[in-house]
Structure 1
Amino acid sequence: MKKYAMMVLGDYDTERDTAEFVHGGMLTRFVTVRDIDEAKETAKKLLAEGFGCLEMCGAFGKENARMLAAETGGRMAIGYCVSDPDMEEKLTEFFG
C-alpha cells in the first residue's frame, strides 16, 4: 500500500489534530506540527513508517521543504503547496 502524508503548520494539539483514511491502495494521513523542529521529527517518523510522499502546507515554503528532503536523505518525495500570487492579499487577510 502506498502511503501519503499532508503536514500542516500551526498552533495545534499534534496528538489529537490528525486524520487518516484509506482508499484503494493509498493510505493518506494528515499530520500537524507547531514548528520546524517538530516537522523534522515528524518527517523522519513518517519515513520510518514507510511513507513515500509528504506534502507540506505553504507556510513552510521552498527552503524548509528542501531542508526536510535533506533531513530524510532524499528517500521521500517532498512537496509544498503554493498559491497563485493573485491570492496573496486574500491569504494574508485570512491567516493574518
Structure 2
Amino acid sequence: MKFAYLIMGKIFDSNKDRAYIHNEISQIIGVSDMEEACKIAKELQNEGVDCIELCGGFGEEGARKIIDATENKIAVGFAVHLEEQNDIYKKLFGR
C-alpha cells in the first residue's frame, strides 16, 4: 500500500516540504492551502497512492474536497481531536 499524509499551513510549499519513509512507499507533504492540496491529491492518485490521510486542519469539509478531487476512488481520512482539547487547539491554531 502506498500512503501519503498531508499537512496544511501557509508556511508549506509542496515542492520543497516533502519527506519519504519506507523506501518511498509512505510520504508526508506540506501544502499551503486547499487548492494546492487538491492538486497534490490528484497527483498522488495518479502515482498510485492508495490512501491519503489529512491533518486536522482540513476538517470534514476539507476531506470532502480531497475526496471530490480524487473522484472518491482512493481512501481519504482526516485526523481529529477529542472535544476536551478544543480550547487547546483553538489557542494553538486560532480557531
Q: Same fold by TM (over 0.5)? A: yes
**Which ranges in structure 2 are unaligned for 5 or more consecutive residues?**
none
After superposition, the CA RMSD in angstroms is 1.5
SS of residue paired to 2:87: helix
SS of residue paired to 1:60: helix
Give the TM-score normalised by the residue count of structure 2. 0.89
**Which ranges in structure 1 are unaligned for 5 or more consecutive residues?**
none
Q: Report the counterpart of residue 43 of structure 2 in structure 1.
A: 45
| Match 1:58 to one of 56, 59, 64 | 56
Instruction: Report the Cα offset of residue 85 of structure 1.
Output: 0.8
Report how many aligned residue pairs link the two structures: 93
What is the percent sequence identity of the aligned residues?
32
SS of residue paired to 2:92: helix
- State the Cα deviation string for residues 18-65 of structure 1 (Å, max 9, x = none): 110117xx8110011101100110000000000000000111110121
The residue type equivalent to 1:7 in the other structure is L
Q: Distance in 1 between matches of 2:55 and 2:81?
A: 10
Q: Report the counterpart of residue 3 of structure 1 in structure 2.
A: 2
Q: Report the counterpart of residue 16 of structure 1 in structure 2.
A: 16
The residue type equivalent to 1:18 in the other structure is R
Give the TM-score normalised by the residue count of structure 1. 0.88
- From the two aligned structures, give the one with the greater strand fraction: 1
